Chain A
Amino acid sequence: SQQGEEDPQALSIQEGENATMNCSYKTSINNLQWYRQNSGRGLVHLILIRSNEREKHSGRLRVTLDTSKKSSSLLITASRAADTASYFCATVRMDSNYQLIWGAGTKLIIKP
């Protein structure tokens, strides 16, 4: 079963603009992770944020976590055509230290 829900389902922006994707989940979590997937194949880990963290940065990526609202956001600044991909959030529940529960993803298209 899927726990996370990303929105929007699809996002199309111009190169150079910022892209924001949101994720909501249902149960208490240990951590939340964002992954990128190109062409329906290999998933690449982007960033992990723990339940006691509120914000994390990695290069052009900024992730926030609001455990009271059970939601997270992924911001990609100064988008590039190469950022075109599907982005997934995945949560690790408090009662499980390994099982990733995934949302359906946001399909991001960066127009050159």
Chain B
Amino acid sequence: GAGVSQTPSNKVTEKGKYVELRCDPISGHTALYWYRQSLGQGPEFLIYFQGTGAADDSGLPNDRFFAVRPEGSVSTLKIQRTERGDSAVYLCASSPSTDTQYFGPGTRLTVL
């Protein structure tokens, strides 16, 4: 079956702009996660959804970052007033439970 998909695969934006990154999880997976990965580092947890609600958003770096999952399926990560330091690969994962997480290919965000 289809895996986790993320769009766009690459996003280049200018400092101060607003961006939205989309994640389509595997059908039926109730858990959804967002991570951010900088070059040469492991992923860094941002937020975890169980169904429609954000069960843990403690990893969001500041209030410029926000994520939603209104119908318990697709999720959108929103970044306001982007900064150069936001440049990274944003990874989404979904899971049927809380064990194995299945990752999408990521969105490479570049803030100029």
Contact = CB atoms under 8 A, between A and B. Distances in A.
A104 B101 contact: no
A74 B3 CA distance: 26
Interface in B79-112: 89, 91, 93, 95, 98-106
Interface string A32-51: 01010000111111001000
Q: Main SS of the interface on chain B?
A: strand
Nearest to A50: B99
26 contacts: A2-B42, A2-B44, A35-B103, A41-B89, A42-B103, A42-B104, A42-B106, A43-B91, A45-B101, A45-B102, A88-B42, A88-B43, A90-B42, A98-B33, A98-B55, A98-B56, A98-B95, A98-B98, A99-B45, A99-B56, A100-B43, A100-B101, A101-B45, A102-B43, A102-B44, A103-B42
